[in-house]
Amino acid sequence: MSASETIHVDGVWLPAASGDTREVLDPADATIIQLVAEGGAQDADAAVAAAARAFDGGAGVWPRTPVAERAALLRRVADLLQRDREEIALIESRDTGKTLEEGRVDVDDVTNAFRYFADVVTNESGGRVVDAGSADVHSVVVHEPVGVCALITPWNYPLLQASWKIAPALAAGNTFVIKPSEVTPLSTVHLIRLLVAAGLPAGVANLVTGAGVPVGARLAEHPDVDLFSFTGGLVSGTKAGQAAVAGAKKIALELGGKNPNVVFADACATEEGFDTAVDQALNAAFIHSGQVCSAGARLIIEESVRDRFVTELARRAERIKLGRGTEDGVECGPLVSQQQLDKVEAYVASALAEGARLRCGGARPEPSEVRPATGYFYPPTVLDGCHREMTVVREETFGPILTVETFTTEDEAVALANDTEYGLAGAVFSADTARARRVAARLRHGTVWINDYHPYLPQAEWGGFGKSGIGRELGPTGLDEYRESKHIYENLRPAPVRWFAG
């Protein structure tokens, strides 16, 4: 297998049908990591055909594989992920720019996702008995796999997002075609290799590397795809979702967020509370250089503590060690691409033009031994004096930009936090438990943290309100996205109905 044979169809690693390749770059210095196959519509068609055969053709053994065997395979994959933990973390760090430690955390989270869905399907009952009101009727609702699933994943957490789709899809008995982002495909290629090594039958897992157009677009519209699951940007996701809906497919869309981090003054009443709230605000905004769909990019802070809080926040943000993610001591890596760097610079420029006040960051850093001049580095940036009319406050920037808004009352805090077309995640920091829970209940966001930011659990659903998407990943609902419900009604004492006299 050559480095550019990254298309996996029916158990075989292949180059693109066109022979085209794409360079995958290291964002720390813009050097080439690897050439990968640049697939097209023909490759997507071949992958869907293989998945369809593996689902309900002559080779369609996976949907009929006993649940215990499917779960055992997922657990073998989890073990292999831990075996290759350091190798995968390095792949993810070099491909996305994140630190090695973040890459290790990702591998552990992926491992937990595979083990969780293995446990869920193992512990389920055979179906839900429905009382039909008669001893002569046996009525039960069962779950069956949807069929062929098309899975589209983003560039920021390629391995993690792949696992959130692949693990429940396989647990439910589906086959799939996955298209990772063309910017960061390498860890997904490795994951498919682990699925093969774990014993997954040929054709169940198929991979096409390539661009959203034509590969993703073809998967969205393909008549033999039964479910379309997309994680990515609002514009491209909406367009792909429309194409999928036109074919009456089941769809699941996770389209990002613009997430509020609400800090009440009472959270800062003690030195420990103040330190914790500042620290968590940094984590919320600047983990993975802010390239996180749930990043707490909007700090909404009570006016009475704003000056002290933002001053300390900016001081600490300036001290974050920016550099190549594989270097010891680096806390924040580069942005993923030149395109993303240009986008972040444009957002900061627009914010300053609209009246925001720069507290730190705001310009590319000087090159250093751990920050090559050719890398896509941008420092943590804090913009004070922001308001909802600013573009940088309304739109998802996907970069290390933290905007600051203020409030004076609880109602005002809630109104600001909910004043977004998105609704993925948010947080409330308060020493008043009743207030924190009250505000959390009023926030229109799919995940709300209280006195914390970013942790998630594979057993808890993930997804958003509003334009953050449709459907949920993780948790029992995340498994149900990949299944159809079937009602089986059995008459135990069949007899003529005599509805018609003749």
Which positions are catalytic? Answer: 254, 293
CA separation for the pair 171, 194 (Å, rounded): 16
Which residue reads 């992926």 in tokens?
110
CA angle 182, 187, 190 (to 5 degrees): 120
- Cα angle 187-396-422, degrees, rounded to a multiple of 5: 105
Task: With CA atoms as reference, report the closest residue to 154 among 375, 421, 340.
Answer: 340
Measure Cα distances from 277 to 263, 304, 405 in Å: 7, 15, 16
A 10 A CB-CB count for 409 gives 10
| 3-state DSSP of 466-488 | HHHEECCECHHHHHHCCEEEEEE
Tokens of 439: 């505000």
The 3-state secondary structure of 388-449 reads CCCHHHHCCCCCCEEEEEEECCHHHHHHHHHCCCCCCEEEEECCCHHHHHHHHHHCCCCEEE
Q: Which of 409, 405, 441 is nearest to 426 (CA)?
A: 441
Q: Are strands 483-491 and 381-384 parallel, antiparallel or unpaired?
A: unpaired
Alpha carbon distance 197, 225 (integer Å)? 26
Tokens representing residue 182 in the block: 């063309």
